[in-house]
Each structure stands twice: as structure tokens, then as C-alpha cells.
A and B are shown apart, each in its own frame.
Chain A
């Protein structure tokens, strides 16, 4: 079970970081 949670955590963290990167890029364009 824990390994599934760990995998899910990896995917969720990745998506959050991706969202943050694209958000910052949008801000930099102005």
C-alpha cells in the first residue's frame, strides 16, 4: 500500500511543480 502512496505522491508533487513552473513562466511574460 505504502508504495502506491509513494508513487502517487511522486506524481502529485511532479504535477504541482509543473503547474508552478508554467505559472512563473506566465508571470515572467507579464
Chain B
């Protein structure tokens, strides 16, 4: 937008038309930036956290789509002359392309907001999302350059082209160059094991490289099979201790087609790991006390933190509140008991549907339960919360009500799309 108005100023039009033009240029800029925000670029994501960035991406993406829709609307309200852009009789290629762009932008948003309702498989959704994003941004740039109003000068054209082409190149980097780099660091499935809670434990070993350095609590994107160039790439929290970069353990619960198929993976299968990612991490050497509140598979990153604590011999008191539906859903039950014997760890299991004779806590993890099982809040206690959204929506405000400050409350959400 700023690039467009920095060149020679064309003859002014009415307010609706000028607003429409600016909304269109802004829409192009916003959608181009989306390619950078969502691209898992370490230099950009920094300490923001991948799940937080994706929440931001979601909101700004909807805004970008509204801009794309409002652009032609404002232009046409301002002057019916612009109806010609959408009139096939005035140029069918242009009209067809613009309809296609509007349809692509709308499909992009609709398939994302209602992916499950459309029964769209995650990997197909990812592929469609990337292709539509490419079409919308590249097509939008072409349209802006050919509109030739604010973009009449060659300098303006070159600058605008540069600003939009760079994110497009970054998208190609994410989808093509990154798998190529992954291909140079292969892993192999060493162990496939069924564990309690219907979870499959997958142990990976590096082949010809030292493995992956990560912070406890981080996650990685897993690809299984002979080639890293595949649609099947899914994020999973690492369950093993950060002190063992040469042995990565993932605990995968069958929630979708891919995670359900993991149980049938043969030992020796090739694997590719992209990562580590995420800011949901505990500095175990800080000496600070920590409270972990986990729901279902949300326990996985916490197991990594606790195992790292054990490996480093951490003496500080720790609390683990592990919420599940039924007793059989408790993941890492034996491991948790073993950790409680080595660490100064108090474990509280909470069941929504307890079996007869259950002595532990029951119901939802609410403020009253946290008051019963946790120590009074203090400045040297960090809180880690990970689980399904309904649990997070209950626990986060409950902890805030107990006086926990935002900088000490670390949370990670899965099921983003």
C-alpha cells in the first residue's frame, strides 16, 4: 500500500474507489505476509511459539479474505465502470481469472474454518491450503500490476513485485527445499510399542548424524516412509529426555487417519523429523518449582520435561495434575509412578469417569480442585498446561484466578485446524 502511493500520484478518484484500491493492496500485502507467518521459519517464529503464531495467522487470514471481498465491492459501488473487470464480454480471461481468485480465497478460508465438517483429511487440507495460497497471492500480484493505476511506474511495479515475490519464494523453500534438507538427516524407527491409553510409542534413531538437540516440551514434524517429499507430515510432542538427542521417543494417540496408522508401522521404517519447534519448554536447571497440568496426550511434553529433570537430578518440588476420561486412558502410568519415586514429584490423577472404588480426584480440573492439590502460588513457580481445548479453557482462567501471572503460565494447544 505504501509502495503504491509512494510513486507518482495518479489523478484522484472518489472515496469509495480509492478505499477499494487501498483495501485491495492491503489484502495482497496481508495475504503475502501470511506465507511468512505460517512457514515455520525459525528466524521469524523466534520466541512467539508456533501455536500462538497460528492463532494470529487464523485471525489475520480471515481479515485478508474480507479485504479481498471488499475490494471489488467498494470499487464497483464507487464507480460502475469497474464492473467491466468482472464482465466476460469486456475481457473473458481477466473476468475468469478474477472470479477464480475470489473463489480460491473463499475456498481457502471455508476449508480451514470447517475442515472437519467437510471431512477433509488433514494432509489433503494442507496441500490444498498451500496451493490456494500460492494461487491467491501470485494472482493478486498479477492483478495489482496489471491494474496499472498506482502501479503504473516501473519502480513501483518492481518494489511491489519484490515484496510479494519474497514470501512466495519462502513458501517454495518450506515445501521443496526443506524436505530436501530433511532427506540428508534420515532417522529409522527402532521400536514400535503399544502402551496404556491406546498410545503407540515410537522410538527413532538417527542414521549417520548425531540426532536432534531440543528443549524438553518441544515438538517435531514427523514423516514416515521412504521419502521426505510427501503430504504426510504431522506434528508430535517429543516424550524422551532432552539429554538424549540420539533417541527420540514420540507417543502417538490414534486421533486421525495418520496417527491411527502409526501402530502398524514396521521397525526399520525410514523416518524424517523436522524441528524442534515450540516455546512450551521448562528450563530444568533453573531450580524453579513447576506445576504441570495435563489432559490426555497433553502429558507427552511434560513427560519429556520430567524425564529431563530426572536425568539432570533436579531436586526442586514438582506437581503433576494428569486429567483423563477413564483409568485406562492414563498414558505413561508406570513411567509417572517411577518418576514420582525419583523426583520430588506429587502426582494427582483426575478421572472424569472413575471406576468403582477409585480413591483419587474426579470431575473436571477446576479452581476448587487446583486449590486442594496445589501449593499456594508463588513467584518461583512456573505452570505448564497442555490438553484438549475444553480443559485448557477451564484451567487457564482457574490458574489466573489463583494469582498466576501470564509470564509464568505456559500453555500449548493442539488441534489447531
Contact = CB atoms under 8 A, between A and B. Distances in A.
Interface of A: 1-3, 5-7, 9-11, 13-14, 17-18, 20-22, 24-30
Determine which residue in B5, B56, B409, B411 has the highest number of CB atoms from chain A within 10 A of its CB, and name it.
B56
B400 A1 contact: yes
B284 to A, nearest CB: 21
Contact of B12 (A9, A14, A29): A29
B55 A14 contact: no
A3 B19 contact: no
Contact of A10 (B5, B14, B63, B413): B63
Interface string B57-72: 1111001000100000
A24 B411 contact: no
Contacts of B57: 10
Given A6-B56, A13-B60, A26-B15, A1 B26 contact: no
Nearest to B63: A14
Determine which residue in A1, A21, A26, A27 has the highest number of CB atoms from chain B within 10 A of its CB, and name it.
A21
Interface stretch (B45-53, B201-209, B239-247): B45-53
Q: How large is the interface on B (under 10, 10 to 19, 20 to 34, 35 or more residues)?
A: 35 or more
B22 interface: yes
Contacts of B411: 1-3
A11 B56 CA distance: 8
Contact of A28 (B18, B400, B409, B410): B18
Contacts of B26: 17-18, 20-21
Contacts of A22: 19, 22
B51 A25 contact: no
A14 B65 CA distance: 11
B19 A10 contact: no
B1 A21 contact: yes
Given A1-B409, A18-B67, 5 more contacts: A2-B51, A21-B23, A25-B19, A25-B22, A29-B13
Given A1-B406, A21-B1, A24-B5, A30 B12 contact: yes
B30 interface: yes
A27 B9 CA distance: 11
A2 B59 contact: no
B382 interface: no
Interface string B395-407: 0100010000010
Which 4 residue pairs are nearest across A and B when measured between Cβ atoms?
A: A10-B59, A14-B63, A6-B55, A25-B18
B192 interface: no
B40 to A, nearest CB: 16
B59 A11 contact: yes
A21 B19 contact: yes
Contacts of B396: 1
